């Protein structure tokens, strides 16, 4: 089945909200990691979201090109081709794009979708994220509303963020963010709904409740999921029950399962997983090197073992292990067996 159409993607998010489950959103940087994400979703019978950050896009374009948009396009085209061989739906998304990178990252990718649609083809990416969390809320929403117009006109879902996700990911460093910025207020959530619903179209909100990118020892990250409930309740009280938003859980790697499950009841339909999948991809490679070190390097008297240094010998193990972590994410988020494919 091809990558999800805009209508199917909306149905995916609605089904998750109605069914109190969510989709893992897996950051990828290469064809190998994209294949691992596809395998993990397919093995779980779960639809899913594959996403590319600006750093991931730059890496995918190679050392000589180093172009955020070009690399993101190559990954998206790869997923479009491979998704046709799976009996699940996949949506493509771009992660954390701050204001200064909009012209190099999100806007060029939207332009590609505009061109594809004009030629009678489908969207390249089904959703994009604008991260204006470091800006004053008024400026954040002003830029979001402008992006929302073109997203609405091209059936693209826009993800926005209020509050700040702590820690560092792909060059976006909020390690020193003030504690109060780690928690979105009900007033912020009301303002997001008021601004974007006035434009029209579909959007998701990454509301923060103590989230932190990266991986930490148990107990180091203090999540307060009820902040999401308070914000949703404030939105519903002002605009009606149907105004409850699709929420996104950032910094999902290493989170307590009880916190994850609590957020599902408050409208979280997407949870980003990056740090954990990076770790799972790398571990089999490290083990392969440790176990075969003597055969991986030419010496004065011996030549290395081609079967051991062939990248396929360890990248297949890496793909398998990362796919296992994606499947674990599907289980944690209760999306196993929930694919809309064929329904």
State pLDDT tens for residues 244-299.
Answer: 999 999 987 777 899 999 999 999 999 999 999 999 999 999 999 999 999 999 99
Nearest to 308 by CA among 330, 293, 319: 293
- What are φ and ψ of residue 217, in 5° steps? -65, 150
- pLDDT at position 94 is 98
Across 46-50, 110-114, 173-177, least confident range: 173-177
- Answer for the pair 169, 191: CB distance below 8 angstroms, yes or no: no
Token pair listed for 183: 């928690």
Q: How far apart are CA 46 and CA 280, in angstroms?
A: 20
Catalytic residue among 47, 95, 188, 276: 95
What would the mean pLDDT of 223-251 be, rounded to a whole number? Answer: 96
Q: Where are the beta strands (DSSP E) in the chain?
A: 23-27, 48-52, 90-94, 127-130, 157-162, 167-169, 172-174, 203-207, 246-249, 268-273
Across 173-187, 226-240, 241-255, 259-273, least confident range: 173-187
Check pLDDT > 70 for residue 214. Answer: no
- pLDDT at position 180 is 56
DSSP secondary structure letters along 269-317:
EEEEE-HHHHHHHHHHHHHHHHHHGGGSS--SS----HHHHSHHHHHHH
Classify domain 6-333 by CATH number: 3.20.20.70
Digit-coded pLDDT (tens) for 108-123: 999 999 999 999 999 9
- pLDDT at position 8 is 98
Check pLDDT > 90 for residue 165. Answer: no
Q: Could you confirm whether 290 is annotated as catalytic?
A: no
- pLDDT at position 168 is 45
Q: What share of the chain is helix, strand, coil (3-state, %, to 5)?
A: 50, 15, 35
- Answer for the pair 34, 41: CB distance below 8 angstroms, yes or no: no
């Amino acid at each position: 089945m091809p990558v999800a159409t805009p209508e199917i993607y909306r149905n995916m998010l609605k089904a998750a909200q109605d069914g109190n489950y969510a989709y893992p959103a897996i950051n990828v940087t290469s064809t190998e990691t994209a294949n691992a994400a596809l395998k993990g979703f397919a093995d779980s019978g779960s639809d899913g979201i594959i996403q590319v950050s600006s750093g991931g896009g730059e890496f995918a374009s190679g050392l000589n090109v180093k172009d955020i948009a070009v690399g993101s396009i190559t990954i998206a085209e790869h997923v479009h081709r491979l998704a046709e061989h799976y009996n699940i739906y996949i949506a493509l998304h771009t992660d954390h794009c701050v204001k200064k990178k909009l012209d190099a990252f999100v806007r060029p990718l939207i332009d590609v979708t505009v061109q594809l649609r004009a030629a009678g083809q489908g969207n390249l990416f089904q959703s994009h994220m604008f991260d204006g969390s470091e800006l004053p809320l008024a400026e954040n929403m002003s830029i979001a509303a402008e992006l929302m117009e073109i997203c609405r006109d091209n059936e693209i879902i826009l993800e926005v963020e209020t509050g700040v996700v702590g820690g560092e990911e792909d060059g976006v460093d909020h390690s020193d963010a003030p504690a109060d910025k780690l928690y979105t207020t009900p007033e912020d959530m009301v303002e997001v709904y008021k601004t974007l619903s006035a434009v029209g179209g579909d959007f998701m909100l990454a509301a923060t409740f103590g989230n932190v990118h990266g991986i930490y020892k148990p107990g180091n990250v203090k999540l307060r999921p009820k902040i999401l409930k308070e914000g949703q309740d404030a939105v519903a009280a002002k605009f009606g029950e149907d105004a409850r938003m699709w929420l996104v859980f950032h910094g999902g790697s290493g989170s307590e399962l009880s916190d994850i499950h609590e957020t599902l009841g408050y409208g979280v339909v997407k949870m980003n997983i990056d740090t954990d999948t990076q770790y799972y991809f790398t571990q089999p490679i490290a083990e392969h090197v440790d176990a075969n070190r003597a055969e991986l390097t030419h010496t004065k008297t011996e030549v290395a073992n081609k079967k051991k240094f062939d990248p396929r010998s360890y990248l297949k193990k890496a793909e398998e292990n990362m796919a296992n972590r994606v499947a674990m994410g599907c289980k944690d988020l209760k999306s196993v067996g929930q694919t809309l494919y064929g329904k």
